[in-house]
């Protein structure tokens, strides 16, 4: 049996919600098919063929309807909760997560799908401000469904012909936006891994013998990154055997931008300790404050010292689409490599992260290749350069290019630029409204779409000089966060930073946002925190 249904995408109140009209009918069997199959039915699931393929198709069709209704339609409806919070002990009981020896019924499994959607955080919700990703793009989501269904690996043209060619086109287009007419790159499983690729390739560039002879052939190496850079820099240094103590953290100004003079001082200091500087990481859009390091000045220093310059633009790289805001990454074209996550601001969907290089000497392949002849045979019947898997530290590699490609095809580069500009406009509106209200205080003027602020409840106003003021203020954000999550009204992050006690970090990026959502956010913070 084959179940057919149609999904009509309609715009309602600017939110792009999905409404599902369902139509089921029996499949028309081919007249040439014998009434009795000459072979046993194909089995898809279960032990001893407990479920046959027709039952599996029926479950898939009905489960897909549930997914669209519960995980897409309701998840984007502002009237629904962002999260139906349950404590871990209660959720374990509700979900019955333990695995048994026998399979469950069709209806039980459908209920499992509903429950998973019900108790998960709705990151597509207009009032989800907690991470550097939010909202939903329906074309990208279609691409994600399709790649899961096709279930292939990106490593060879043989098994992924469409996607190998597609990845090349997408990477080439992204490099051109950075400012590189030539170069290389690869899709990676997240920005942290992309940053690790950069550090590994830079080390190979400086000391190629490390690949074959090991760490003992390499001097003590030094990495330089800002105090507010992503923690993946330290993780990469640890993973690659460079050592976290050899990561030099460069000072930042009040807004979180790297101070070039301190970078130069740190390089001199590292050399005086016998270390060899080889890698500078600049950040375009820091995680907390959304700061953009001065890339041109960092490039000057890197070039003078013969150091590989990498730009972690996982968060801020998407500003290249905007004529209004591209100046924030001026100088990125001078870097040797960059990380960029379209799954963040562009809403391509998790995961969609690229590592891009200006190099044209096939450095990425030379650094990582293992020449596995069982997979990358040299006598294939097509151009072997299309087998890109040996560039990767992975073997199996998910298809991450389709979600971005399909979204780009749908709305074009101008549509992506509009998405960036709308996020900046919404941020400006939010900051203006925040400053009008008593009790709200910005940590620093936003450079990007991160808005960092304190909410000072009435009981603490005017008491800034009291000895326990900071201690009490530090407790405000965690309590308000707990209240909003348990209520399900919205979700936003908080953190301390460089001696500044807990403050909220509001991330404004979804084009589904209306001004009413931003007004609601401020009202809700006041409602939840006025009695503290």
pLDDT in tens, 269-299: 999 999 999 999 999 999 999 999 999 999 9
Task: Say which CATH topology domain 5-34+46-122 has.
Answer: 3.90.1150
Position 6 confidence tier, pLDDT thresholds 50, 70, 90 = very low
- DSSP state letters, 330-353: TTGGGSSEEEE-TTSTT---SS-E
* pLDDT above 90 for 412: yes
Position 26 confidence tier, pLDDT thresholds 50, 70, 90 = very low
- Please name the residues in contact with 142: beta carbons below 8 A apart, sequence gap of 6 or more: 406
pTM over 0.85: yes
Q: What percentage of the chain exceeds 70 in pLDDT?
A: 90
Domain ranges in the chain with CATH number 3.40.640.10: 153-401
Report the CATH number of the 153-401 domain.
3.40.640.10
* pLDDT above 90 for 35: no
Position 221 confidence tier, pLDDT thresholds 50, 70, 90 = very high
Rounded-to-integer distance, Cα 341 and Cα 325, Å = 17
pLDDT in tens, 320-360: 999 999 999 999 999 999 999 999 999 999 999 999 999 99
Q: What is the pLDDT of residue 50?
A: 52
* pLDDT above 50 for 34: no
pLDDT in tens, 358-388: 999 999 999 999 888 877 778 788 888 888 9
Position 7 confidence tier, pLDDT thresholds 50, 70, 90 = very low
Rounded-to-integer distance, Cα 471 and Cα 6, Å = 56
pLDDT in tens, 88-126: 999 999 999 999 999 999 999 999 999 999 999 999 999
* CA proximity to 317, closest of 505, 132, 129: 132
Domain ranges in the chain with CATH number 3.90.1150.170: 5-34+46-122
Element (H or E) spanning 107, and its range?
Answer: helix 106-119
Q: Which of 10-14, 138-142, 186-190 has the lowest mean pLDDT?
A: 10-14
CB atoms within 10 A of CB 171: 21
Element (H or E) spanning 269, and its range?
Answer: helix 260-272
Element (H or E) spanning 221, and its range?
Answer: strand 221-226
Rounded-to-integer distance, Cα 416 and Cα 57, Å = 36
Pairing, β 5-9 against β 450-455: unpaired
pLDDT in tens, 183-214: 999 999 999 999 999 999 999 999 999 999 99
């Amino acid at each position: 049996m084959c179940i057919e249904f149609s999904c009509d995408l309609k715009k309602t109140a600017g939110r792009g919600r999905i409404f599902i009209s369902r139509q089921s009918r029996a499949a028309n069997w081919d007249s040439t098919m014998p009434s009795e199959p000459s072979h046993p039915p194909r089995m898809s699931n279960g032990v001893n063929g407990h479920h046959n393929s027709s039952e599996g198709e029926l479950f898939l069709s009905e489960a897909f309807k549930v997914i669209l209704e519960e995980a897409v339609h309701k998840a984007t409806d502002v009237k629904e909760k962002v999260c139906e919070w349950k404590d871990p002990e209660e959720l374990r009981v509700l979900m019955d997560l333990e695995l048994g020896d026998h399979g469950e019924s069709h209806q039980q499994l459908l209920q499992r799908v509903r429950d998973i959607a019900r108790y998960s955080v709705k990151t597509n919700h207009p009032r989800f401000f907690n991470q550097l990703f939010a909202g939903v793009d329906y074309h990208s989501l279609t691409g994600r469904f399709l790649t899961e269904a096709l279930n292939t690996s990106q490593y060879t043209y043989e098994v992924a012909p469409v996607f190998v060619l597609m990845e090349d086109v997408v990477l080439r287009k992204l490099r051109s936006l950075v400012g590189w007419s030539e170069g290389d790159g690869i899709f990676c499983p997240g920005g942290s891994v992309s940053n690790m690729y950069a550090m590994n390739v830079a080390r190979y560039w400086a000391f190629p013998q490390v690949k074959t002879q090991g760490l003992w052939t390499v001097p003590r190496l030094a990495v330089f990154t800002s105090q507010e850079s992503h923690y993946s820099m330290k993780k990469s240094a640890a993973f690659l055997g460079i050592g976290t103590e050899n990561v030099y953290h460069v000072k930042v100004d009040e807004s979180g931008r790297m101070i070039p003079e301190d970078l130069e001082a740190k390089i001199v200091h590292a050399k005086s300790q016998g270390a060899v500087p080889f890698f500078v990481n600049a950040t375009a859009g820091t995680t907390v404050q959304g700061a953009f390091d001065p890339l041109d000045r960092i490039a000057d220093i890197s070039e003078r010292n013969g150091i590989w310059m990498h730009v972690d633009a996982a968060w801020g790289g998407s500003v290249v689409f905007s004529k209004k805001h591209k100046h924030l990454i001026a100088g990125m074209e001078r870097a040797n490599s960059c990380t960029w996550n379209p799954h963040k601001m562009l809403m391509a969907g998790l995961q969609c992260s690229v590592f891009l290089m200006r190099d044209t000497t096939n450095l990425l392949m030379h650094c990582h290749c293992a020449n596995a002849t069982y997979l990358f045979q040299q006598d294939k019947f097509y151009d072997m350069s299309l087998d890109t898997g040996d560039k990767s530290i992975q073997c199996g590699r998910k298809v991450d290019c389709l979600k971005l490609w399909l979204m780009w095809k749908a709305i074009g580069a101008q549509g992506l630029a509009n998405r960036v500009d709308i996020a900046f406009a919404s941020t400006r509106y939010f900051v203006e409204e925040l400053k009008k209200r008593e009790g709200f205080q910005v940590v620093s003027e936003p450079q990007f779409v991160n808005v960092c602020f304190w909410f000072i409840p009435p009981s603490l106003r005017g008491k800034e000089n009291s000895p326990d003021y900071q201690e009490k203020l530090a407790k405000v954000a965690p309590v308000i966060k707990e209240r909003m999550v348990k209520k399900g009204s919205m979700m936003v992050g908080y953190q301390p930073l460089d001696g500044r006690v807990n403050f909220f970090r509001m991330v404004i990026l979804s084009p589904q946002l209306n001004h009413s959502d931003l007004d609601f956010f401020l009202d809700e913070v006041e409602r939840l925190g006025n009695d503290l």
